[in-house]
Chain A
Amino acid sequence: MILPIDLIVLVLVIVSAVAAITVKDLLSASVMLGAYSFLLCLLWTVMGAVDVAFTEATVGAGVSTVFCVSAIFHTTRRTKD
């Protein structure tokens, strides 16, 4: 683990998690969740867990973003909080 890369990625992970729950639009929230998953994928790679990293990239970031976007397509993207 390279400590500077690890610290930068950890800060970006926290920022994108907070952005995903504070943004006032559900489509933006799900896109931020996808960015959060890709940053976690980077974090697993830094920590040497390569198998977890590519599972996170395909299943966590890819499929769950598609799920969220299709659910919002079937409902609404407006939210109060």
Chain B
Amino acid sequence: MELIETVKHMFLFIAAKANYWTYVILLMVGLYAMIAKNNLVKKIVGMTIFQTAVILFYVSIGYKKDASIPIVMHGSGHGHAADAAIRAADYINPLPHVLMLTAIVVGVATLGVALALAIKVYKEYGSLEEDEIHKQLRSR
């Protein structure tokens, strides 16, 4: 019985911060791919995973419990000054969302430049593997 209680507590502890645990795991997966993988396209895939992990962290910061999406419900203005009171606790914080909108677009631009450089490297050396490129560079 005690073991079941311990497992339950552990699960709730992890599940309460599941977004942040996933953020850390994805960050490590991307970093591992960037460092340890031999293929250039695999390294670029790892870079994309790393970027999206940071985006996950920021969107998780902006989240609020029992809050709606950040669109004002009944509009504002139009002479009803008393109705226009907006409680910030009712809406998810939209500032991290807007920042991460820019980060996604910048991430795709980075991906495009990196893949273009990989294509040039392939045209020059005839391979995408890092060790073969190093071998050719040493023999020159």
Binding site for B on A (CB under 8 A): 1, 3, 6-7, 10, 13-14, 17-18, 20-21, 26, 29-30, 33, 36-37, 40, 43-44, 47-52, 55-56, 59-60, 63-64, 67-68, 71-72, 74-76, 79-81
Shortest Cβ gap from A25 to chain B (Å): 11
Give chain B interface residues in 81-125, CB to chain A under 8 Å: 92, 94, 97-98, 100-101, 104-105, 107-108, 111-112, 115-116, 118-119, 122
Q: Once bound together, how far apart are the Cα atoms of A18 and B94, in whole Å?
A: 30
Dominant SS at the A interface? helix
* Cross-chain contact A47 with B45 (CB below 8 angstroms): no
What 9 additional pairs, Cβ within 8 angstroms, besides A6-B18, A68-B111? A7-B18, A14-B22, A21-B37, A26-B128, A40-B56, A64-B108, A72-B41, A75-B128, A81-B38
Q: Which of B25, B38, B59, B122 has the most CB of A within 10 A?
A: B59
